[in-house]
A and B are shown apart, each in its own frame.
Chain A
Amino acid sequence: AQSVTQLGSHVSVSEGALVLLRCNYSSSVPPYLFWYVQYPNQGLQLLLKYTTGATLVKGINGFEAEFKKSETSFHLTKPSAHMSDAAEYFCAVSDSGGSNYKLTFGKGTLLTVNP
């Protein structure tokens, strides 16, 4: 069984500050890892994903995440927060083996950006 833990249900940063959203996963097989963003009153949009290869992955809007197998982590970062980054962020894991690809989501982290 897979699981995802997002540390901090609410993170608040100042505009221009570093954004760090934490995600730890549990998986018995090599995972595929995802970050999705949900803006108010909208569906989920893929920010970035790790499947294989380079462990530092870059996504849209200046976000990036690093897969660290030894730490079972996939933290999301952005060097400088913008007001438009205010949203809820979800980390998710799926099974890279077989043909299932079902996603298991974390509970989400609400990011607030203060002027």
Chain B
Amino acid sequence: AQSVTQPDIHITVSEGASLELRCNYSYGATPYLFWYVQSPGQGLQLLLKYFSGDTLVQGIKGFEAEFKRSQSSFNLRKPSVHWSDAAEYFCAVSFGGYNKLIFGAGTRLAVHP
């Protein structure tokens, strides 16, 4: 069965430090991969997505993610974190013919000044 794993439940970084959030998926083929961000009390906003082509994709708010087929991973990175990046981040996989999403459990990011 398809699944998405985000190994880190909570991550705390200092403002200005670099960030990497991990995501691994289990799927029979190359899936469509997404990163969403959820600010407190808000809905989900798309940061970036990948389904083909260049394995390094750029998103909004200075985020990027790299698809590694050999590791079944799609890790999210940001070179310098801002306090406003504190939120919960979800990795998701789209499968099947109806664009359904399977989400990871999420990683909650805290940013220290």
Q: Do A and B originate from a single complex?
A: no
Q: Which residues from chain A sit less than 8 Å from chain B, CB to CB?
A: none
